[in-house]
Structure 1
Amino acid sequence: MMSTERKNIILKGGREHNLQNIDLSIPRDQFVVVTGLSGSGKSTLAFDTIYAEGQRRYVESLSAYARQFLGQMKKPEVDYIEGLSPAISIDQKTTKVNPRSTVGTITEIYDYLRLLFARIGIPHCPKCGREISHQTIGQITESIIEEGEGTKIHVMAPVVKDRKGEHKDILEDFRKKGFVRVRVDGEIRGLDEDIELGKNFRHNIELVVDRLVIREGIDFQRRLSDSVETACNFAEGLVTVMFNKRDDEGNESTYEKTYSEDFACTNCGISFQELTPRMFSFNAPQGACPECNGIGTKMEMDPDLIVPNKNLSLNDGAVVPWSKSTKKENYYYQMLKAVADHFGFSMDTPFKDLTEEQQHIILYGSNEKGAFAFKRRNRS
C-alpha cells in the first residue's frame, strides 16, 4: 500500500523570499488552492519554490545537449522537498478573452496530446465497439453491392479536402487523364467548364471516377472493383460513393458512404479516415463539435424575439431584424419576396395566419432551391 509521504508533496525549511522557514504537506492528485493576504508568500510558495524545484529537477534529468537549449533555474532556498513531478505553471496575467483558450492550449500540452492520440490511438467502431481494421478493394466492392440492385452510384475520389487555393493544376491533370466530371464543394460539374475557385477559400474536390447502376454479374463486379481501385489510387486509399436509391413507393433517397483501405469496421460496414492530429483539435473543422463549432456554447435564436408581434405581416415588419428593410429595392426585401413567391404565400398575410411550414421556412430556410434575382434601380 502506498505510504503517506508518496501521496503528498513534503516541503521542509522553505526560506525563499519572505517564507519564514515553513514546513508543509500538500496532497497530490487533488485541486489545491493557496490563499492568504497580499505579501504572505503565496506566489513564492507555488511558483518560486514548488514549481521552480520541480522544473529544475526535470531539466537536470535531460542530457547535456538538451539542457543547453533550456534555461537553468536556480535551486530555491529550501531544505527538503519530496514527491515532486515535472511541473507546469501559467503566468498570472490577463489573457485575451477567447473561448478557445484553455490550460492545454496556453501551455501547449494540447499539441502534444493531439499528436499522441493520432500516433498511438487505436480507433474503435462507435456502433459495435470492435477495433477498426484495414479494408481491401474486394471488401469495399462487396459492401457497395450490398446496398441493393438497381441503386445508382457515383464512385468518387476525394482528392482535395478543406484546402485553400484555386487548384487549377489538379483540375487540368484530371482533364489530361480523360476524366469528364468532378464534384466541387458538393456540386457535380463537367471538366469542360471553366471552373473558377476562390483562392482564399477552402474547397472540397472529388473526382467522379465512374457512374454505375448496381446489378448482378461478374462483369459489373470487375468494373466496380477497377473503379474503386482507381479512386483509391487518386485519394490515397479513400473512396466516396454517393448512392441514389428508389423505394417501392417511388421515393428517392440520396446518401453517401466513405470507404477506406486504411481503417474500416467490417462488421458494421463503416469506414474511417486515418487518424490525424487535426481530428483531435477543436480549432479545426475535422475535430470540432458540429453543434458548437468547438467553442463549447451554442447560439440559438428565439422565434418570439424574432417575431414578437405575430399579428403583423412581412410587409408590416413582422420579422424585427428585417423590419427596416421594407423598401422594394432592399436586398433582404427582394429575397423575402422571392421566397414568398416560390412557396406560394403573400407578404401581406399576418404571420400568425401562415402555415407552420411557411413560418419555418421564413425563420430557418429550406433545402429547396428557388430562383432569386437582385434588382436595383435602373439595373439588375
Structure 2
Amino acid sequence: MERNTIEIRGAHEHNLKHIDMSIPRQKITVVTGVSGSGKSSLAFDTVLAEANRRFFYTLSHYSRQFLDLGARPALRSASGLSPAIALAQNETQASVRASVASLSDIGEMLGVLFARFAEKRCPTHDLPTEARSLDEIVGFAKSQYFGRTIAVTVTIADQKKGQFKKQLEGFVKKGYSKAFIDGKLADIDPIPNLAKDEKHDISLIIDSLKVDPSKEQRLRRSIETSLNLGEGLACIHTVDTKGKLESRSGQHISLQSGCPVCHFAWPRLDTRHFSPNSLGRCEVCDGRGVIIDEDDDPKAEENFEPEACKNCAGTGLDPKLKSITFRGRSIQKFYMSTIKDLFEFASESVDSSLGDSAAVKLVLETLLNHAQRMMDIGLGYLHLGRRIRTLSNGEAQRLRLSAILNEHLRGVLYVLDEPSQGLHPREIDRLWKAIERLKSQGNTVIIVDHDPDMMRRADWIIDLGPGGGVQGGMLLAQFDPKEAKAYAKVSATAEHLYNRLTSVARAPVKHSFKEFIQIDKPRLNNLKMAKARFPLGGLTVVSGVSGAGKSSLVLKTLFYNLHQEIKSKVWNKPKAKTVPWFCSGFSGADAIEFCTLISRKPIAKSSVSMPATYLDIFTDL
C-alpha cells in the first residue's frame, strides 16, 4: 500500500538536533524558520540527498562509478521517499552562451521546425534553392573552377562523436585513401585511431584534379560518385599551390537544392545548424551574442553586459540563417521576439495549419505549450535571445520552473528553494498556480520559503528554530496553516500567521536630501525612464514587479557607472574621458570614494571555502 507521508527519523545533518517529522505526500509543504535554523539542511541535505541516493543505488555498479553520490545523510531512517528533483538558487554563474531559448528547450524545438519545414533560399541572391540536375552541377564546376585544382569530397561526420572505424574501413575497401579529418589531411589506411568521446569533422576525398577540358569526363564521374555516396550531397574544395586543401572554401553541391545563379546549396540541415552553441553560431562572436574584451576589468565584467555583436544583432546566430524562413520569419527574428510574440505566432499557426503535416502541427503545438507555461508564471516579456546572466535570480528560477512544468511527471518529489524570491506580491498568485499544478499531477512539493502568502496557502508547515547555527536545528512545530492558533505559543511563525502581524519597527524618516546621484536616460535592457535619482546619506529601496528593470537600473547601470567613476579617480583619469555606460549622463558621485556590490551570488570559490578563508582570518592567525 502506498504511504501517505514521508517519515524522517533522527535527522542530525549539520545543526539539526535529531528531529523526527512527517511530511504529507502529494501535498505542498513549506519549511520555514530564521536564517541558519536548518531549513536547507533538512530539505536539501537530508530529504533530497537521501531520495537521490536511493534512486541512484537502483542503477548498476558500473553506472554509479560515474556519479558523485556523496556520503549518506545523517539520519536514523527515512521512508516514503520518491525520486526527487531540486530547484535551487543559482550555485554557479550561468555560461555566457546560455539564453532563454536554450534553457527552456524552445531553441531546440525551433531548430527542429527550421531544419525540417522551413523554406531555404540563397543568402546572396534570395532565390529558392531548388533541385538541380547532374549536368547543371558539372557545368557550374567547370565555369567556377576552370584552371584551378579542386578536391571533391563527401561529408562522413559533421561535429559528431565516435571513431567511425566501420565507415572508414568500408571506404578503404572501395579504394579511397585520404580524408580531411578535423582540419587536417590524413591517410585512412591504416584506419586512424580517433578519440571516441570527442566531436569530429570527417570529409572523404573522392578525387583531386585540375579542372580543364581534357578532364571533363573525370570531373563528371567524380561528382556523380560523390553525390551517390553522399545521398545527393557533396562538396567541392579548392587546393592551393602547395597541394593543401582549403577546407573553409568548400562549395556544397546537391541534387536536391541549389541557387540557380551561384549554385549555392545548403548542407543537410539538422537542429545543430540553428543553434548558436553549435554549427549555427556567428563567426564574429563565436555564438556568444556579445563581444568580450579581454582587457575589461574582470571585477566589473560580471556586473555589466558587454557590447552586443553587430554581425548577428546579439542573437549569436550565423547571419546566413536569415535566408531560411518559416512562414516569413527567420530564426533570428524569433530570437529577437518575446515569449508572448512566440505564443501568438504559434497559436495563429496552429489554427491555420489545416494543410500542414501532422509533424508540423506537433512541433507548433509543443512550442505553444512551452510558451503558455512561461506566460503562466509571468515570463511572457522575456526575449528568447536574452542571456541568462542578465536575468535576475527570481527570473532565472521561474524559467527553470517552467521547464519542470512542461515535463508532466507524476509521483515525483520536488524541492524548491525560495521560489518567491524577487517576486512582487501580486505575482505570487501566478507562481502558486504553477506549484498547484505540480501537486495536481500527483507530486509532492517541499518549499523552503519565508513568504507569509506562500505559507498561508500551503497544506503543511514545518517551523525550525528558534535561532540560527547552534541555537537552531530544533523542530518548533509542524501544522496545517488553518490550525496556526493552536501552535502560536511555541512557534513565532504560527503566531504571525494567526494574528497576521505585519507591523515593523520604523526609524525616523528624513524627508529632505540635498545631494543625489543622478542617472539621465538609462537605456539598459527595458529601461525607458527620463532620469533616476538616489539620495546620498539615505536608504533607497527600488521596487517593482519582476522584470520591471530593478536589476538593470541598480545592479548594472548604477553600480557599473559608479565603479567607473571611482576607478577614474584612482587612475587620475580626466573625467571628460569617462563615458557614461548605457545612459546619457551620470552625476553626483564626486564625494563617493568607495562602493561595493552585495549580491545574492555565492561567495564560495571552491569546495573548501569557508567563512574564515573569505574573511581572510587565517592571515592574521
Q: Given the two structures, how large is their TM-score scaled by the length of structure 1?
A: 0.48
Q: Given the two structures, how large is their TM-score scaled by the length of structure 2?
A: 0.31
- Which is helix-richer, 1 or 2? 2
